Amino acid sequence: MSDEIFQKTIAVIFTAWAISVCALVAAALYLQSKCSIISYIANGN
């Protein structure tokens, strides 16, 4: 029983970690593209 709970806990932690990593990568890419667009506009196209 404890092994099953342990495995479920690991699965939940891993899933949450994977989601947070994906969110961080998505946010970084979004900010990078947003900054490049801003600098593109600032440079006068």
Per-residue pLDDT tens for 4-41? 999 999 999 999 999 999 999 999 999 998 888 888 88
Tabulate helix, strand, coil % of the chain (nearest 5): 90, 0, 10
Dig out the tokens for 24 from the structure: 């961080």
C-alpha to C-alpha distance for 42 and 45, rounded to whole angstroms: 7
Phi, psi of 44 (to 5 degrees): 80, 35
pLDDT score at 29: 92
> Domain boundaries in the chain?
1-45
